[in-house]
Amino acid sequence: MTSLSFDIAHALAGALILSSFMMLYQDRLSALINLFAVQAVILSFSVAWQAFIQDAPHLYITAFIAVLFKALVIPLALHRMIVRLGIHREIETVIGIGMTMMAGMGLVALSLSLILDVASQSDPLAREDLAFALAVILLGLLMMVTRRNAVSQVVGFMSLENGLVFAATGAQGMPFVVEISVAFSILIAFIVIGIFLFRIRERFDTVDLRALDHFRGERFSPGDGPSGAALPVLDRSRGAGRGR
């Protein structure tokens, strides 16, 4: 392996983490979705580069899926959806951006020290890919826990999944990479369709998960008959971000 191909792989992995950080502090939904599309493009470049240096043509399929599905289809669908939901202007974070960034840095440091410490027999590229991938995964998780909005949680999950695809392609010769990326695409499509369907059926007036928390516990159950139609969440105004 030449040092140039090593450097390019590294640069792409670094860009992936950088885009994760940008998503962490981006507090507008439409910008967040655009950033996710950017991350998906970086991912597909990175996967295509792996396909090239590993001489593994099937990885080009994974790269193609990433660019088509995650950089185009999903972002477009999400953009349409947030406009319809009337939440395209805002996003709310539970803890402040400063704290989130600090936590993110801590997680990156953790994953680097965890994986790089491993006295690995595997080659340095695979090992460092794993470290970067774990960082992206943990940043995605962090985003999921710091956001209260269902759409931004889904974006967090998808960026977590980008880390997984990155890890899978970095492990040389791993079987099922294409199948796994397809399986994940189906999963994500389900999630997105799910939000969208619930909206169409007018069950949610908000996708703010704090409104959902209202139904935790045992106040309503299907056994109570048609009470599900008269739940107070329907009275909540549109848009997210108004907590109790």
Which residue, among 132, 113, 152, 135, has the nearest Cα to 25 in the 3D structure?
A: 152
- Ramachandran quadrant class, 241 (left: phi over 0; alpha: psi -120 to 50; beta: rest): left
Establish if 150 lies at the interface with another protein (CB under 8 A). Answer: yes
Q: Which of 180, 210, 239, 241 binds another protein (CB under 8 A)?
A: 180
Query: Which residue, 78 or 133, is less far from another protein as judged by CB?
Result: 133
Could you identify the residue written with the tokens 């392609």?
169
Q: Are 29 and 151 in contact (CB under 8 A)?
A: yes
- In angstroms, the CA 101 to CA 19 distance is 13
Which residue, among 47, 32, 57, has the nearest Cα to 158 in the 3D structure?
A: 32
Establish if 98 lies at the interface with another protein (CB under 8 A). Answer: no
The contacts of residue 104 (CB under 8 Å, 6+ apart) are: 20, 21, 24, 139, 142
Establish if 94 lies at the interface with another protein (CB under 8 A). Answer: no
CB of 160 to another protein, least distance (A): 6
Stretch that binds another protein, among 44-52, 79-87, 88-96, 213-221 (CB under 8 A): 213-221
Q: Which of 86, 141, 196, 241 binds another protein (CB under 8 A)?
A: 141
**DSSP, res 215:** T
Summarize as ranges the residues that interact with another protein (CB under 8 A): 114-115, 117-122, 126, 130, 133-134, 137, 141, 144, 150, 153, 157, 160-161, 163-164, 167-168, 171-176, 179-180, 183, 187, 190-191, 194, 198, 201, 203-204, 212, 215-216, 218, 220-225, 228, 231, 233
